[in-house]
Amino acid sequence: MKDRIEKLLEEIQELKAQKEQEVEEIRIRLLGKKGVVTQLFDEFRTVLPEQKRELGQILNKLKVVATEKIDELRDMISEGGSTGKSEFDLTKPGDKFELGAKHPISITRSEILAIFNKLGYAIADGPEIEDDWHVFGALNFPPEHPARDMQDTFFISTGENPVLLRTHTSSIQVRAMETMKLPIRVVCPGRVFRNEAISARAHCIFHQVEGLYIDKDVSFADLKQAVLLFAKEMFGDNVQIRLRPSYFPFTEPSAEVDVSCNICGGKGCNICKGTGWLEIMGCGMVDPNVLEASGIDSKVYSGFAFGMGVERIAMLKWQVRDLRLYFENDIRFLKEFQTSV
C-alpha cells in the first residue's frame, strides 16, 4: 500500500490540464466517491495497527497534495493560462490601472480660492501647530475668557504661551498682519482642529478658508459686497444673502451669512429645515484691539474678515448629508466627483 501511495504522489505532481472540465475529471478520479484516494482511505481501515501510524501520515499527505494540486490547476485555468506552458504570456492584456480624481474638498477649496483671486486676494499660509498667541491671544480672546470654549482645541504643551493645534485659520491672518505691508488682502486656506465628538455634522478635523482685507476706509458695505459676490459666483447669480448679528471676539460688529436655499429657491425644504436659508460663513469688521495687537494703527486703518468651512460649502453644493464621508476615502463616494479641474 505504501508503494502505491508514493507512486500516486509522484503522478499527482505531474498532472496537467487545459480546461476546467479536465480538472473536474481529475478531481473525480482522485477524490470522488469511488476515487483512488477515497478507496485508499477505505483500505486503510483494514491495515494492521502497527502500520496505521506511518500509513496514516502519508495518506493524509496524499489527500492534501491532491486537493492543493486540483486548486492550483483550477486557478491557472481561471487566470487564463494552461499548465504545462510558459507562465509568461506576453500577449496577455495588461492589468487595469485606475485613475484617481480630485477630492471634493480640494475641488471646493480651489473654487473658493479662485473666486477670491478674481477679487484681488492673495493666498497666505501658516502652521497647523500654532501657539496660543496666534490662535487666541492676538485675536482678543483674553486668557480664561469663556469665548475660548467656542473653540476647544488639542494642547501640545502648557505654560504661558502653550503650543496647540489651530482651531481656525484666523491664526494665518494674524501672521499676515504681523509681516505683510498694508494694505492687506489675503485668503487663508487650511486644515483646522477642534476637540469635538465626530458626528454627521461635526468633525475634529476640517478645512477652512478665511479672508482678511485691511486698508484705509474699509467699511461694512465693502464686506457685504465681497460676500455677495462670493455667494453669486459659488451658488449662482440668483442667490440672495442675509446677514444675522452674531458674536466673535475678533470682529465688531459680527455677523453670520446665510444664502437663500439653492434646493428650494427659498421656499423651504428639508435641506434648509423649512427656513429657506443656509448658513455659509461668519464675518465682521476687525476689532480695533486685534489691529493694535499686531501693531496696526486702528485710527488710520480698518478692515473686515470672514471665515467659512470648506466641508460645509461642499455639503451645500452637492447635498452631502454626512460630513464623515469626506474622510472615509470610500472610492464609490469619491467617484461621484470626477472632474477635469
The site for ligand PHE (CB under 6 A) is made up of 168, 170, 210, 248, 251, 282-284, 305-307
Of 109 and 168, nearer to ligand PHE (C-beta) is 168
Contact yes or no for 218/311 (Cβ under 8 A): no
- Exposed (0-12), middle (13-18) or buried (19+): which is 13, by Cβ within 10 Å? exposed
Of 27 and 207, nearer to ligand PHE (C-beta) is 207
Beta carbon of residue 299, minimum distance to ligand PHE (angstroms, whole number): 22
Beta carbon of residue 307, minimum distance to ligand PHE (angstroms, whole number): 3
Of 174 and 261, nearer to ligand PHE (C-beta) is 174
Of 254 and 262, nearer to ligand PHE (C-beta) is 254
Residue of this chain nearest to ligand PHE (CB atom): 307
Beta carbon of residue 191, minimum distance to ligand PHE (angstroms, whole number): 13
Q: Dihedral (C-alpha) 219, 222, 223, 229: value to the nearest 10 degrees?
A: 180
Of 192 and 325, nearer to ligand PHE (C-beta) is 192
Of 62 and 251, nearer to ligand PHE (C-beta) is 251
Beta carbon of residue 338, minimum distance to ligand PHE (angstroms, whole number): 31
Three cell numbers, residue 150: 467656542
Q: Which residues pair with 269 in a beta bridge?
A: none
Contact yes or no for 284/257 (Cβ under 8 A): no
CB 88: neighbour CB atoms within 10 A? 7
Beta carbon of residue 134, minimum distance to ligand PHE (angstroms, whole number): 12
Beta carbon of residue 198, minimum distance to ligand PHE (angstroms, whole number): 18
Positive or negative, the CA dihedral 80, 86, 92, 95 is positive
Three cell numbers, residue 66: 491532491
Of 37 and 171, nearer to ligand PHE (C-beta) is 171
Residue position matching grid coordinates 484681488 = 120
Beta carbon of residue 100, minimum distance to ligand PHE (angstroms, whole number): 30
DSSP letters spanning 312-339: HHHHHHHT---TTHHHH--HHHHGGG--
Round to whole Å and give the CA distance between 310 and 298: 31
Contact yes or no for 139/94 (Cβ under 8 A): no
